[in-house]
């Protein structure tokens, strides 16, 4: 029998936002309200770990139910995020000092592997110091590269957006292509190709080969220019246009990024190349006569596209938030909620949640499986489609105002500080 721990709950967000990271926040808030015996106040930490160091908390229980519901369809991280990496002992000391001052007994951290690494260290320190604290991680990342979970909340909505965008751009390309048009879409994915691979969901079931995308390039498969040019030419012989989706992190045979690094310039002070998409455009135009190539780069828009939120993804994001609170109340600590696929034969899709130690999450990256990359090196196998199709199912209607989506804005009532200001060094 776990001892009841009573105190305040603190939830914070970290790393790159996703379209459903706020659905997880709403899940945490909703569930926390159900545990009055254990959870007294529900605080949100602003800007991830920075807000904890700086004692910047808001009172989430005072937000309206309408606002909390609207969080489920609001991109960005409503509490603010950060990329600050806690390394110094004084920072960890400060975190526990702040927790004690505000009687924080439940700490829920919504983030990717770096953030869960921080959560693991906070948990270890609390145990070492004998401070009663329950730390549970809530996964998020559009990159889908956490090794311990079937998939990550955020991924389904991001690939739903990428696939919808490819399908729509392909209609345009089909109208103007004359076996001479190459369309390149650069998507995120510095280390792994999960997002680029997701673009193949744009293919209709009965038109797997013909439909866009025709070529998908991932960081897991080193770029071979001749294989690439041959694939483009083969596609243009059969199709009016050739659609290419490329991960920003594509690397060449020597392991270097094909896309220009931030800030790199040519002799004239101009950006040498505008990322890997622009680089491929140049390669196509220089190597295939008479072809017009165009590139687009979704950038931040692919992780903020509320119109493409997947209902399945949104529900799962809320669920990992809820289950994190339940686990903490039940006595768990130092763990992260993961999604486990119950039926792996693809007949029906159902998910349960489980817990894994935070230490297992940190620093382990899950690459796109080599077995799911086609023999031609530029296509994605049906195994992936079977895996990813359930994640994009269902739509989440948005609220509109004046012709544009309307999003949740927190009132953000600040919790009074109790300590002297802290200087983050």
Residues numbered 92 to 131 that lie near a second copy (CB under 8 A) are: none
Q: Which is nearer to a second copy, 33 or 174 (CB)?
A: 174
Cα angle at 378 between 373 and 379, to 5 degrees?
55
Among residues 121, 167, 214, 366, the one that binds a second copy under rule CB under 8 A: 167
> To 10 degrees, what angle do helices 21-32 and 311-329 make?
40
CA 41, distance to chain mean position in Å, is 28
Q: Site size for a second copy, by CB under 8 A?
A: 79
Q: Which is nearer to a second copy, 202 or 320 (CB)?
A: 202
Among residues 61, 389, 412, 417, the one that binds a second copy under rule CB under 8 A: 389
Q: How many residues does the chain have?
A: 425
Which of 126, 125, 152 is CA-nearest to residue 138? 152
Cβ atoms of 114 and 15 within 8 Å: the answer is yes
Candidates 111-119, 125-133, 161-169, 249-257; binding stretch for a second copy (CB under 8 A): 161-169
Q: Which is nearer to a second copy, 7 or 51 (CB)?
A: 51
Q: Which is nearer to a second copy, 78 or 133 (CB)?
A: 78
Among residues 126, 135, 146, 201, the one that binds a second copy under rule CB under 8 A: 201
Q: Is 179 in the site for a second copy (CB under 8 A)?
A: no
- Residues 231 and 399: their CA atoms lie apart, in Å, by 43
Q: Is 77 in the site for a second copy (CB under 8 A)?
A: yes
Cβ atoms of 170 and 212 within 8 Å: the answer is yes
CA 315, distance to chain mean position in Å, is 15
Among residues 2, 3, 36, 171, the one that binds a second copy under rule CB under 8 A: 171
Q: Is 314 in the site for a second copy (CB under 8 A)?
A: no
Cα angle at 142 between 252 and 298, to 5 degrees?
65
Burial of 2 (0-12, 13-18, 19+ CB in 10 A): exposed
Among residues 342, 405, 413, 419, the one that binds a second copy under rule CB under 8 A: 405
Could you give phi then psi for residue 51, rounded to 5 degrees?
A: -70, -25
Q: Is 307 in the site for a second copy (CB under 8 A)?
A: yes
Cβ atoms of 195 and 302 within 8 Å: the answer is yes
Query: Which residues participate in catalysis according to the annotation?
Result: 143
Binding mask 224-253 for a second copy (x = CB under 8 A): ------------------------------
Q: Is 165 in the site for a second copy (CB under 8 A)?
A: yes
Burial of 246 (0-12, 13-18, 19+ CB in 10 A): buried
Among residues 244, 305, 325, 358, the one that binds a second copy under rule CB under 8 A: 305
Among residues 172, 252, 343, 376, the one that binds a second copy under rule CB under 8 A: 172
- Residues 365 and 146: their CA atoms lie apart, in Å, by 6
Q: Where are the alpha helices (DSSP H) in 82-224?
A: 89-101, 113-129, 155-176, 194-198
Q: Rule CB under 8 A: which of 271-300 touch a second copy?
A: 271-275, 277-279, 281-282, 285-286, 292-300
Least separation in angstroms between residue 333's CB and a second copy is 27
Candidates 143-151, 200-208, 333-341, 352-360; binding stretch for a second copy (CB under 8 A): 200-208
Binding mask 36-75 for a second copy (x = CB under 8 A): --------------------------------------xx
Among residues 310, 314, 333, 379, the one that binds a second copy under rule CB under 8 A: 310
Burial of 333 (0-12, 13-18, 19+ CB in 10 A): buried
Q: Is 268 in the site for a second copy (CB under 8 A)?
A: no
Q: Is 407 in the site for a second copy (CB under 8 A)?
A: yes
Q: Is 163 in the site for a second copy (CB under 8 A)?
A: yes
Hey, how many other C-beta atoms are within 10 angstroms of the C-beta on 369? 13
CA 266, distance to chain mean position in Å, is 33
- Residues 344 and 350: their CA atoms lie apart, in Å, by 9
Among residues 20, 25, 71, 202, the one that binds a second copy under rule CB under 8 A: 202
């Amino acid at each position: 029998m776990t001892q009841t721990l009573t105190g305040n709950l603190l939830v914070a967000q970290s790393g790159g936002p996703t379209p459903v990271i706020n659905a997880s926040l709403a899940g945490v808030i909703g569930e926390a309200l159900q545990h009055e015996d254990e959870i007294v106040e529900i605080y949100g930490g602003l800007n991830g770990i920075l807000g904890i160091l700086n004692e910047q908390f808001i009172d989430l229980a005072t937000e309206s139910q309408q606002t909390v519901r609207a969080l489920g369809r609001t991109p960005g991280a409503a509490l603010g995020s950060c990329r600050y990496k806690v390394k110094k002992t004084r920072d960890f000391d400060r975190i526990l000092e702040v927790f004690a001052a505000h009687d924080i007994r439940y700490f829920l951290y919504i983030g990717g592997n770096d953030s869960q690494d921080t959560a693991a260290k906070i948990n270890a320190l609390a145990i070492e110091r004998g401070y009663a604290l329950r730390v549970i991680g809530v996964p998020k990342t559009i990159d889908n590269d956490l090794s311990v979970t079937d998939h990550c909340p955020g991924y389904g909505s991001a690939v739903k957006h990428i696939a919808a965008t490819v399908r729509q751009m392909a209609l345009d390309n089909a109208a103007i292509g004359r076996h001479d048009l190459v369309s390149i879409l650069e998507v995120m994915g510095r280390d792994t190709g999960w997002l680029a691979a997701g673009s193949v969901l744009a293919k209709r079931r009965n038109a797997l080969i013909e439909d866009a995308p025709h070529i998908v390039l991932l960081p897991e498969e080193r770029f071979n220019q001749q294989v690439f040019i041959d694939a483009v030419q083969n596609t243009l012989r059969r199709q009016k246009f050739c659609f290419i989706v490329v991960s920003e992190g594509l690397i060449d045979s020597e392991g270097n990024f094909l896309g220009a690094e931030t800030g790199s310039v040519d002799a004239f002070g101009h950006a040498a190349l505008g990322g890997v998409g622009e680089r491929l455009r140049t390669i196509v135009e220089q190597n295939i006569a008479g072809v017009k190539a165009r590139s687009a780069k979704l950038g931040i828009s692919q992780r903020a596209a509320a119109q493409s939120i997947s209902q399945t993804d949104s529900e799962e994001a809320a669920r990992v938030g809820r289950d994190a609170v339940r686990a903490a109340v039940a006595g768990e600590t130092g763990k992260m909620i993961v999604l486990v696929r119950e039926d792996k034969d693809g007949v029906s899709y159902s998910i349960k949640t489980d817990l894994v130690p935070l230490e297992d999450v940190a620093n382990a990256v899950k690459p796109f499986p080599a077995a799911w990359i086609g023999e031609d090196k530029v296509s994605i196998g049906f195994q992936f489609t079977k895996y990813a199709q359930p994640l994009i199912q269902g739509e989440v209607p948005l609220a509109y105002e004046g012709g544009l989506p309307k999003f949740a804005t927190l009132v953000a009532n600040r919790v009074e500080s109790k300590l002297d200001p802290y200087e983050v060094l």
